[in-house]
Amino acid sequence: ESESAKKIEEEVGRVVEQAKELQDSAASFISKASADDQSLRNRVVSLDSSIRRLHSLLSHNNHNLLDPKLADKLEEDLQRARCIMVDGDAASFLPPKTQGGFLKMFLGPINVRASQKDIQLKVKEEYNSYRDRTALLFLFFPAALLILRSWIWDGCLPAFPVQLYEAWLLFLYTGLALRENILRVNGSDIRPWWIYHHYCAMGMALVSLTWEIKGQPNCTQKQRGVQLFLQWAMMQGVAMLLQNRYQRQRLYTRIALGKAKRMDVVWGETAGVDGQLWLLCPILFILQGFEAYVGLLLLKTAFIGVVSEWQVFFCGILLVLMAVGNFANTVQTLMAKSRF
């Protein structure tokens, strides 16, 4: 018996020893790794600035210092160097993009940058599949409300399901805005507008929650605003579904070819997906026109005075703003792409 006591005592001693050793190994690993990490960071920064300097030198080749053909070749070499740095393992050591105020507001000073490329891709894929799941609901939920309205509810939407839907919208847009900010920190080139667009949509969902849903009599007239809002939401669902299809394919093509966005600049966009964009955009333009139309109708409703709440006015203005912004940014995207 005393022997097994001895054994336990020994084991405890060993455990304490191991804990100390582990602490030492961990400390030395951390300090070694952070030194290496810092040196890689420095090298990335200095290489990046060399590339920038040479790039500006080449593009200001106005005195024809270099043979234009040679200049083109050198420019291409520089691009290759940039691709190696930005898309390879060195990318983890690039200085992080600053996290915007939106993330700070909700999450505090936590860092949401994934250090590994494969996790960054996973985040992007998960974002796409999240959008897919929601796009279907986006279509289904308001459609169900509008159908039930004319079939069962006698032209008069009850408040509760509409409010439930609006709360869901608010939750959804908040999630999208957070995720897009996270993607941005992780190196996505998403235009800031698409994120602002979701802030606007958040504002709209929030305001629509406070929007009183009046009942009989004269339901159809009083609920005109809500009805337009639901129609806009359905249209958003269609836009999202189309956009998702295109963007997922684009991501997969990129992954399959083992080259990421910046390589596009060198080799051009993959033709197949590019073609889709020219199909997608006219539909997007139509939807954006409809968005503006719904916004103007809301404004009209507010001015004529059938529904004179400030909420209707506010949503109308927001919708018009969003339509204009979406249009401008889609056009700019197209122009940027056709330049290559």
Ligand X SMILES: CC(C)(COP(=O)(O)OP(=O)(O)OC[C@H]1O[C@@H](n2cnc3c(N)ncnc32)[C@H](O)[C@@H]1OP(=O)(O)O)[C@@H](O)C(=O)NCCC(=O)NCCS
Residues engaged in binding ligand X (CB under 6 A): 124, 180, 183, 188-191, 194, 236, 239, 243, 246-247, 250, 261, 277, 280, 284, 287-288, 291, 326, 330, 333
Longest dimension (CA), the chain: 95
Using the minimum distance from each CB to ligand X, give the nearer residue, 214 or 250: 250
- Site for a second copy, residues 191 to 250, rule: CB under 8 A: 206, 209-210, 212
Residue partners of 86: CB distance under 8 A and separation at least 6? 94, 260, 262
- Minimum distance from CB of 331 to a second copy (Å)? 30
Least distance to a second copy, CB of residue 174, Å = 7
Tokens of 142: 């308001």
Give min distance, CB of 89 to a second copy, in A.
4
Residue 239 binds which entry of ligand X, a second copy, none, with Cβ cut-offs from 5 to 8 Å by kind?
Answer: ligand X
Nearer to ligand X, 170 or 233 (CB): 233
Q: Which of 143, 146, 153, 163 binds a second copy (CB under 8 A)?
A: 163
Q: Cα–Cα distance between 1 and 274 in angstroms, integer?
A: 79
By C-beta, is 55 or 337 nearer to a second copy? 55
Nearer to a second copy by Cβ, of 85 and 139: the residue is 85
Whole-angstrom distance, CA of residue 156 vs CA of residue 151 = 10
Determine if 82 is a binding residue for a second copy (CB under 8 A). Answer: yes
Residues, the chain: 340
**Does residue 329 bind a second copy (CB under 8 A)?**
no
Residue 19 has which token pair?
A: 């804990």
Question: What CA–CA distance (Å, rounded) separates 164 from 54?
Answer: 57
Distance linking the first and last C-alpha atoms of the chain: 83
CA distance 157 to 214: 9
Kindly state the smallest distance separating residue 141's Cβ from a second copy, in Å. 17
Instruction: Please state the closest distance from residue 251 (CB atom) to a second copy, in A.
Output: 15
Nearer to a second copy, 30 or 336 (CB): 30
Encode 108-125: b = buried (16+ Cβ within 10 Å), e = exposed: eeeebebeebeebbebbe
